Amino acid sequence: MSYRKGSKVWVEEKGEGWLEAEVVDAKERAVVVLTSQRKKISVLPEKLLPRDTDEDLGGGHVDDMTKLTYLNEPGVLYNLKRRYALNEIYTYTGSILIAVNPFTRLPHLYNEYMMEQYKGVRLGDLSPHVFAVADASYRAMVNDSRSQSILVSGESGAGKTETTKLIMRYLTYVGGRAVLDDRSVEQQVLESNPLLEAFGNAKTIRNDNSSRFGKFVEIQFDKTGRISGAAIRTYLLERSRVVQINDPERNFHCFYQLCASGKDAELYKLGHASTFHYLNQSKTYELEGTNNEDEYWKTKRAMDIVGISRSDQDAIFRTLAAILHLGNIEFSPGKESDSSKIKDSTSNFHLQMTATLLMCDPDLLVSSLCSRSIHTNEGIIIKALDCAAAVANRDTLAKTVYARLFDWLVENINKSIGQDVDSKAQIGVLDIYGFESFKHNSFEQFCINFANEKLQQHFNEHVFKMEQEEYKSEKINWSYIEFIDNQDMLDLIEKKPIGIIALLDEACMFPKSTHVTFATKMFRNLSSHPRLEKTKFSETDFSISHYAGKVTYQTDSFLEKNRDYIVAEHCNLLSSSRCPLLSGLFTSLPEESVRSSYKFSSVASRFKQQLQALMETLSSTEPHYVRCVKPNSVNRPQLFENQSVLHQLRCGGVLEAVRISLAGYPTRRTYAEFVDRFGVLVPELMLGSYDERALTESVLEKMKLDNFQLGRTKVFLRAGQIAILDVRRAEVLDNAARRIQGRFRTFIARKEFVKTKEASISVQAYCRGCFARKMYKIMRETAAAIILQKHVRRLIVQRNYQEACSAALLIQSCIRGFIARRYFSTIREQKAALVIQSFWRKRKVAMLFQHYKRATIAIQCAWRQKLARKELRKLRMTANEAGALREAKNKLEKKLDDLTLRLTLERRIRAAGEETKLVEISKRDKIIETLSAECAAAKSSARSEHDKNLLLQRQLDDSLGEIAMLRSNKILKAEEEKQNSNLKNIVKSLSEKNSLLENELSTARKSSDDTMEKLKDVEGKCTHLQQNLVKLQEKLTNLENENHVLRNKAFNISPKTVSEVLPFYNPLKFSETPTPTKHLAPIPHSTGTRRQKLPVERHEGNHEILSRCIKENLGFKDGKPVAACIIYKCLLHWRAFESERTAIFDHVIEAINDVLKAKEADGRLPYWLSNTSALLCLLQKNLRSNGFFGTPSHRSNGSLGLGGRTGQVRNPACQLFSLSLVGRGDTLAQVDARYPAILFKQQLTACVEKIFGQLRDNLKKEISPLLSVCIQAPKSTRAQPGKASKSPGAGAQQPSNSHWDNIVNFLNLLMDTLRENYVPSFFIRKLITQLFSFINIQLFNSLLLRRECCTFSNGEYVKAGLSLLEKWITDVTEEFAGTSWHELNYIRQAVGFLVIHQKRKKTLEEISQDLCPSLSIRQIYRICSMYWDDKYNTQGISNEVVSAMREMVNKDTANLVSNSFLLDDDLSIPFSTEDLSMAIPATDYADVELPECLHLHPSVQFLLKVS
């Protein structure tokens, strides 16, 4: 393929596997590319792979890798990497699911709601998920009645076990049964996992908990698709690990758990793991984050759950301890040659412990280890074993015991779970080891890779079959396509007589054979095989070219690990054990087997047979594949190692599937997608309407391509053809870009020239104007300077003259003003002093009086307030006891009289206090008069002194010439000034005393005002307490009456009466507990009470009329439900509400329930919602629980008719009076309700809630198909993207009216039905609100689960549909719609986010606070990760914002209880009984007439007489 400058390619790199690059220079033999690391590399064109130029659009990833434009190795790798960065861990490759281990909790992906979303959905309709594969297998099993299998593979740590658990969990969810011993089959299988992990898992180099065996879980189903049983099969336990491990690996977990078990370890004489040979070959004894002792107790609990008895548990752990002690037995050469014996006392101790734990004879154990017996015709020959043979014999015994113990555990687990032998269909889940290739590969890796080759062949056949089905469905010719097969590889391993396994078995049969002889014979017989190679630096190692790559095997231990000798001495030893479990594992050998001490059994051959049986099982089922991938080797989240993942993709067969696809037609596009992408190559054919298939053929013919085929809906292209089309498309787009650039540059150049020309003219005009303005300015400034000089000189002279005049006038005015002000201030001070004195005297007396008055009132009020509070506390304490209220009433009345008396006394005391206060005020007035007199005298003396001063001043003015006299006068004046200062001090002290008195008077006035206010508050509180007392008396009466009712039912009726009443009592519907009362009077059983019940009991024959009212549709009269009104009138007339015991209420409820259970009940739900709610409101507004055991004085005369004779009821006058009361419901007092009536009201409330919930659920079921059609509609809308792409600016996409209008029509029909049945607006509002909440949930969840819904065009589609719903809400008004528009908040904000432009410029704060404030970060992150612009091909949210959201999501994952990003449906009843009574208006039932169809019935003739 030829590359041009600017082409996007993949270039291979050792560290990263593949790198993104762009061609910067294309030569004949080499291409220079610029990598994403900004490095330039020169490579050959053959080593480059094409990359999609539009891969950044649509989110940069696809959920099905068959949708990749270039299906190649780097495309698959980087698609997984991009999805993993967004926490999208599942990806399809056709029907194959690839699961990347996230190494973090993602509980929102696996909750029950998510399982419900994938239930019954076709594979590929929703985002990739393991539940989708499990559901596809279950549906195929149910629909086709054929067994299924799910093959889960991957390397250690890739998440195979967790994936298997999720698959079984989902199958149990949809299979739905299976409870055995209070545990489901799935639970029992999962509970056996800790046990199997303890005995079958170990630490390896790559994984701390690696399964060292394969597991096939077979879940069995009955004919109805329910789980009926399960079974577990295991394959190829790595027995050699028991006796040999490499550092830093570990042996099986159970050994380390037993050593850390504390007391149990001491019981078996076990120490630290480092003291045992089978464990200390590696220095790793602990696992990070794992406690061996805790794991030991978990294993024991698992044994309890599985059903292993305590004795068997002890036998199991004794056996494990015996294996450890057995490994510590060492041997030394014996006295004879080629013989051995126990080495020392330590080994002897371990020997004795082994014999004790195995419950066998120590001598027999020594004999079985150090010798073997050969049976001949002449007799038994005992042959001694040398030290090496004894060690091998010891290890063989340990491996045999452990392997049989493991098989026994699996068998017991299967017995605990239970199998269904009659099951016709099964789903098998295979959890098996993946392909392994290490630095040193031995016999175990050879067997594991052989199994993977078998599975790969099955996988290739499945992929080939899927390809064939695709080609057949599209009706294209595929017969000449050849696919890759690995049968030659399998023949190399298993073919007889010269396969590797056959040669290995042959070598194992000869005792003298070694790995050298085996390797030599293998190379001699198979040297010509293309898949087998001999290594250069070893004579015994060989390499095999597997499907996943070349693996080199070391044959050093092949023979030892393949030999599985059945040693007769070992069987005889353990069959003679006193431990039942061990003796059961090793039964005695038959006679012919005893003749040979060693009976050879090949591990490889047995594994081959097991594998063949597994393949036969898989071949009889329809397979489904899950490939688990481990993204990194350090088990950290958000870390993706390219090389490791590439290796796993090769080992898992994913790239093999890609190669199979490449052998056929790897590129397949629908005609619409092909035309949308390559229609630019034939623009002349794109005008007007066209046939997409014909247009596709025209494009391919114009490009002169031959390797393609046209199917029914898709075009199929050979590998490389799409690259040729992309090159041609890039050329066309480049030419168009050059043409656009040329025109644009011309436009820019001309625009710049015109702007420059206009700018130069403007500059010239501006310069000329500047010169002219400058000359004019100079001339004007010269003329202005002359005028300014003239005016300035005149102003200076004028200012000097004015300053002289104003200075003279100012001096004169200041002198005159000083003299006048001094005289005026003297006069004003005299007048002010007189006014202040008069006001002060008056104010001081009044303030003193008010002070004493208020202080007295304050004291009185405080004391009364204290007493009132004390009394209030007593009232509150006594008010809580219903039985003590009657006594409290009398006490309160007495205390109220006492308070009244005290109030009068206080008023008298206050009057006396006021008199004493007046006396004190008069005394203080006298004191003030004396003080004022002193003040006046001081002022008069001061005034006289002032006069003297004036006289002296005049004398001084007259005798200015007499200096000596002036000095003497100055001395006298100084003395007088001293006297004046003394007088001033006296006046100041008096004024301070006056201010203190004023302050005291003001505080006294304030305190008296506060006291008066408090007194008023106390009087108000007393009034309020009196009102509360009246209310409490009424409540007390009601409580006493209800207590009488309930206590009478509980204590004061005969056993016969109890048995008659209890059938009508439903404890689930009426759970009110009577309040205990201390003062209950005994209830006499009078004959009048019995006579009172007789009229009501005689109305039990009227059940028929009530049944007809309920079963027939009586309609409505003036918006009032006729049935409810007739039933209420009848019950009221028959005095049923006042009856102590009646069955008529139960009959009404049962009749309503029977109507609701009928087939046509769904259509009558609105009718009965209206009737039952109206009847309930009538009961709430017209019934009261005023007890029928009250005093006769509280009852009206009309109610006494039930206590009289039956003849009184038949009296026409009495009958007419009672009927008139029935007809006048608005003026009639409330009816006293008895116990059955109270119970009936509770049952009717439950009935209303049931009808509302049933109606709501039916509406949701009816609207769900309409919503699903709207959700699927964007697929058909995008069926012709080529046509739509011609006018990208044509505006928002209009919704498909046939879909959204169906929803609007459904809502209109609903509103018409509800209005026809006169359903109260309260119920309509609640129904519509919950229905719109359901619409919001369905649309929003589909947006988060379906990637094709999370697009720009779908956002426009849903937004247009929401506008129709908004218009409908506006039309029906808020009375019926309520907050329905607010219920669509989530989908409105999500859709608003989808349709905004320039998303890359939006910050996280703008998105979370402005655009989507109601959505959580997890939901916004989900939308961002799934969004792609299918209309304009623009990019989504920036990578920085996505990374910030991912960090926030990861931080919140550990703190949240539920990490689900989906919305849950609300199934609660959104109203209470109190809401109904307040929201629904009262119904006037008086004017509702009896329907004509009921006129002839005798029980309702009273209604005709009233009308």
Is 1170 known to be catalytic?
Answer: no
Is 1020 known to be catalytic?
Answer: no
CA distance 1169 to 708: 65
Sign of CA dihedral 570, 573, 577, 583: positive
Best CA proximity match to 1324, nearest among 1111, 1441, 1480, 1447: 1480
- Beta-bridge partners for 153: 627
Is 689 known to be catalytic?
Answer: no
- Helices 193-200, 387-417: axis angle to 10 degrees equals 170
**Three-state SS for 716?**
strand
**Three-state SS for 717?**
strand
Is 161 known to be catalytic?
Answer: yes
Q: Which of 35, 53, 111, 207 is catalytic?
A: 207
Q: Within a 13 Å sphere around the CA of 420, how many CA atoms are in the beta-carbon half?
A: 20
- Please spell the DSSP secondary structure of 933-953, one letter per residue: HHHHHHHHHHHHHHHHHHHHH
Q: Which of 73, 186, 436, 474 is catalytic?
A: 436
**Three-state SS for 531?**
coil
For residue 544, the 8-state DSSP code is E
Q: Which of 59, 60, 75, 157 is catalytic?
A: 157
CA distance 875 to 899: 15
Is 1048 known to be catalytic?
Answer: no
Q: Which of 149, 156, 396, 1341 is catalytic?
A: 156
Residue type for position 773:
R
Best CA proximity match to 925, nearest among 864, 997, 819, 1005: 997
Q: Which of 7, 69, 72, 211 is catalytic?
A: 211
- Beta-bridge partners for 331: 342
Three-state SS string over 1328-1382 comes to HHHHHHHHHHHHHHHHHHCHHHCEHHHHHHHHHHHHHHHHHHHHHHHHHHCCHHH
Cα 1024 to its chain centre, rounded Å, is 52
Contact 721, 667 (CB under 8 A): yes
Structure-token pair, residue 1307:
């809502």
CA distance 1277 to 438: 52
Is 334 known to be catalytic?
Answer: no
Residue with tokens 């992150």: 1421
Using the CB atoms, write b or e for 1415-1437: b if 16+ within 10 Å: bbbbbbbbbbbbbbbbbeeebbb
Q: What burial class does residue 1496 get, using C-beta atoms within 10 Å of its C-beta: 0-12 exposed, 13-18 middle, 19+ buried?
A: exposed
Is 995 known to be catalytic?
Answer: no
Is 1341 known to be catalytic?
Answer: no
- Helices 443-474, 654-663: axis angle to 10 degrees equals 40
Phi, psi of 48 (to 5 degrees): -100, 150
- Please spell the DSSP secondary structure of 14-67, one letter per residue: TTTEEEEEEEEEE-SS-EEEEETTS-EEEE-GGGEEE--TTTTGGGG--SBGGG
Residue type for position 316:
I
Residue type for position 14:
K
Q: Which of 59, 214, 434, 1355 is catalytic?
A: 434
Phi, psi of 270 (to 5 degrees): -105, 145
Q: Which of 66, 164, 204, 210 is catalytic?
A: 210
Q: Within a 13 Å sphere around the CA of 1478, how many CA atoms are in the beta-carbon half?
A: 5
- Helices 1235-1277, 1297-1316: axis angle to 10 degrees equals 160
The number of residues in the chain equals: 1507
**Three-state SS for 226?**
coil
Residue with tokens 């309409």: 1266
Q: Which of 161, 261, 423, 994 is catalytic?
A: 161
CA distance 792 to 1258: 101
Residue partners of 509: CB distance under 8 A and separation at least 6: 600
Q: Which residues are catalytic?
A: 156-157, 161, 207, 210-211, 434, 436
